[in-house]
Amino acid sequence: MNSTKRLCLCAVLCAAALTVFVIEAQLPLPLPVPGVKLGLSNIFTLFALMYLTPREAAAILLIRIILGTIFVGQPSVLLYSLSGGILCLIGEIILIRLIGKKFICEISIFGAMLHNTAQIICAALITDTPSVFWYLPPLLIAAGVLAGTAEFTNLRENPCPSFAPEANTGYAITYERQYFALDEDLLAGMVANHNGEMSDDGWLPMNAKINGQLHPTDADYADWYARAARGYDSWVEMTAATGLPLAQNTLLDEGDTSTFPSIAMYPSGMIDIPDEYDDGMPYTPKFQEYPAGFIPIGRGDTPDKLYLRTGVLLDGYNVEIMAVAYLGDAPKEMATDLYWQKSAGLTWQCESYPMANGNTALIPHCTSNPNSRPYIQSRAYFAQDGILYQVYCRPYTDGLYYSASQENIWAELKVVLDGFT
């Protein structure tokens, strides 16, 4: 980029940052300290760090703060903005040098944390009121620090953590798990099927088989809550039937479900099929395939969790979505799932992708042999409303031998992620 273009970009960033700065000054915050702000205009400082130099980013920061203070007319704004902005800038520069520009989400969250922490410290010193530190948690929440998205842990680089003391390969996904109550009639029917009986709404006990790449863990396969699976014509229909707050995706309605059945079901043979059982019932006594459905897991009288799945053909890619929803009345808790524990030779690096709905998806990249088995790194994880999701993409016609580049697969994966509402 030549000097003229750099100067123009700096001017545009200054103008945009100044506009947000002035608007932000009018937003009320639950703080009895005038001049403290959320620091939304620091977005432009981060952009400058990504595409310009630290010196130019610092210049944009100072110009924005000085002119913004003049426009707002509050002298106290200068102190709080300087303390927050400078500490945020220094922290982001250090973090970029340590982990690189690829992890923009983590850098942004870290900068927001430093910005608001610096403002609270400044307020405590100026007002001689240590009690203002009680306002730090809500400010951190507003900055996105405590937003509760999923977190990635590289178990090769961080072996034997407290949540998995014997793990030293693969990676872990940590998220805030919630527990849910299923629709009562649906649960009663599943229990009846599990016990080898027909449900009140006519479902026979059905075994199930999953198609595609996303599957339950080996441990959960061993704890299958047998004969109680369900199939549906769409993800939306399954959401309504279960009553779970499943994340919706606008692209699911656009994809072709006829070429990619997500779940296959067939009678278990536990009971005699009634003579009157015909096409008017939910299932005929034969093999059935559905574009959406769930597999229940659990060894007790009722299932402990559900693996909910769907799959569509979208833009020449098979797209799979799988959610894991836990059942019961237990309180929220931090939970961790482990992946690729048996593939000791693989090494990983994680990309954090900011989704269009404000959530953050984790896309693990295999760094040890990225071209040998691309299917292992063509998936993403995110948590929403206490439910963990996996999203997977692969070219439709290629099997496991992809003609599409990994970059194109990731690009399609991100298109799908941005479709979630």
Question: How do residues 202-231 score in pLDDT, each as one tens digit?
Answer: 888 888 888 778 888 878 878 888 889 999
C-alpha–C-alpha distance, residues 16 and 157, integer Å: 40
Q: What's this model's pTM, rounded to 2 decimal places?
A: 0.65
Q: In the predicted model, what is the mean pLDDT of residues 45-60? A: 84
pLDDT at 31: 47
184 vs 284 pLDDT, higher one: 184
Q: For residues 267 and 408, state if they share a domain.
A: yes
C-alpha–C-alpha distance, residues 314 and 23, integer Å: 40
Q: For residues 118 and 61, state if they share a domain.
A: yes
- Which pLDDT band holds residue 36 (cuts at 50, 70, 90)? very low
Minimal CA–CA distance to 177: which of 382, 337, 334, 308?
334
Q: For residues 264 and 381, state if they share a domain.
A: yes
> Where is the domain boundary, 128, 147, 166?
147
Question: How do residues 362-415 score in pLDDT, each as one tens digit?
Answer: 999 888 765 555 567 789 999 988 999 999 988 876 454 456 778 888 888 999
Total number of residues shown for the chain = 421
- How many domains are there within the chain? 2
Question: How do residues 319-371 score in pLDDT, each as one tens digit?
Answer: 999 999 999 998 888 888 888 887 777 888 888 888 887 788 999 988 876 55
> Where is the domain boundary, 112, 147, 182?
147
Q: Is residue 161 part of a domain?
A: no
pLDDT at 131: 66
Q: For residues 128 and 225, state if they share a domain.
A: no
Q: For residues 131 and 265, state if they share a domain.
A: no
Can you tell me whether residue 298 is helix, strand or coil? coil
Q: For residues 202 and 319, state if they share a domain.
A: yes
Q: For residues 57 and 182, state if they share a domain.
A: no
C-alpha–C-alpha distance, residues 392 and 417, integer Å: 10
Q: Is residue 114 part of a domain?
A: yes
**36: exposed, middle or buried (Cβ count in 10 Å: 0-12, 13-18, 19+):** buried
Q: Is residue 158 part of a domain?
A: no
Q: For residues 181 and 217, state if they share a domain.
A: yes
Question: How do residues 96-149 score in pLDDT, each as one tens digit?
Answer: 887 776 566 667 777 777 877 887 787 777 767 676 666 666 555 555 444 446
> Where is the domain boundary, 104, 131, 147?
147
Structural domain harbouring 10: 3-147
Q: How many CA atoms lie within 13 A of 70 on its CB side?
A: 6
Structure tokens given for 385: 């409303």
Q: For residues 180 and 327, state if they share a domain.
A: yes
Q: For residues 289 and 240, state if they share a domain.
A: yes
